[in-house]
Amino acid sequence: MAYNLLKGKRGIITGALDANSIAWKVAEKAFEEGATFVLTNAPIAMRMGEINKLAEKTKSEIIPADATNVDELTNLFTKSQEILGGKIDFVLHSIGMSVNIRKKIPYTESNYDYFMKGIDVSAMSFHKMLAVARKLDAINEWGSVVALTYMAAQRTYPFYTDMADIKAMLESIARSFGYHYGVEKKVRINTVSQSPTKTTAGTGIKGFGDFFDYANSIAPLGNATAEDCANYCITLFSDLTRMVTMQNLFHDGGYSTTGVSNEVMQKLGVSE
């Protein structure tokens, strides 16, 4: 059911690769809620994905941009305002990549060139995006920027390797930039720490299926789906959350605050 929470709002949505991605679901939901927006992704990701289908469905234009490149980000924010007819009200940063994970390199043996690439793509890109938007004064007052993260930034998950450190940096950028952008322009910046989600990227992590089931058994409400996450992001883009900023918001069915569940204890053979 649509409530027009974003009626008249303009946005930029990054990271929509295919119908399984959270960014894709956010775009669909934002369109239902009355927003207009542009879609963007790195050229190589666009060739791999199906973003043209999403653009057609949501009546959106696509602006290719490498989020690690300041010139391309400048073009993204400049052209977005031209296409949409004004300043931006919301931005979704849904960008994450670890070469070390892709190549199955253990955390303690991390390739540092790959590590730096992961930082640039998955965290520094967030700072660059915000810095470009601020320099261009591209985001309206009370605008909202949301980046997707994972709680490996707070707790150790061995299989998440260098992305855990990178996500911690991402969350720190949200707090630090959130202060400055908030004081200057009332722009709010938050991160959403999502449950393990069956996206194309998520399922590529070794042991993801077993961990997905484990997290689902711990969380009182079960794992939050990509659709659930999209709904949550829409509330953060809306005027209903105008005073929420610099927060890391857990969207995980209660997993992050549950020590152990009866279901997991029973699976371990522990009974009362």
What average pLDDT does this structure show over 113-139? 98
pLDDT value at residue 268? 81
Three-class DSSP category at 191: strand
In sequence order, which residues have a C-beta less than 8 Å from that of residue 219 and are 6 or more positions away?
Answer: 195, 252, 253, 254, 255, 258, 261
Which residue type occupies 202? G
Residue-averaged pLDDT of the chain:
93
State the pLDDT at residue 270: 76
Tens-digit pLDDT profile for residues 83-112: 999 999 999 999 999 999 999 999 999 999
Q: Which pLDDT does position 176 carry in this prediction?
A: 98
Element (H, E) at 12: strand 10-14
- When pLDDT is averaged across residues 38-51 and rounded to a whole number, the result is 82
Please say if the pLDDT value at position 204 is more than 90: no
Cα of first residue to Cα of last residue in the chain, in angstroms, is 44
Instruction: Give the residue ranges of DSSP H helices in the chain.
Output: 22-32, 43-48, 51-58, 70-84, 99-102, 112-119, 125-136, 161-185, 208-218, 226-237, 262-267
Q: Is the confidence at residue 200, as pLDDT, over 70?
A: no
Whole-model pTM over 0.75: yes
Please state the rounded mean pLDDT for residues 60-74.
97
Reported as a single tens digit per residue, the pLDDT across 155-196 is: 999 989 999 999 999 999 999 999 999 999 999 999 999 999
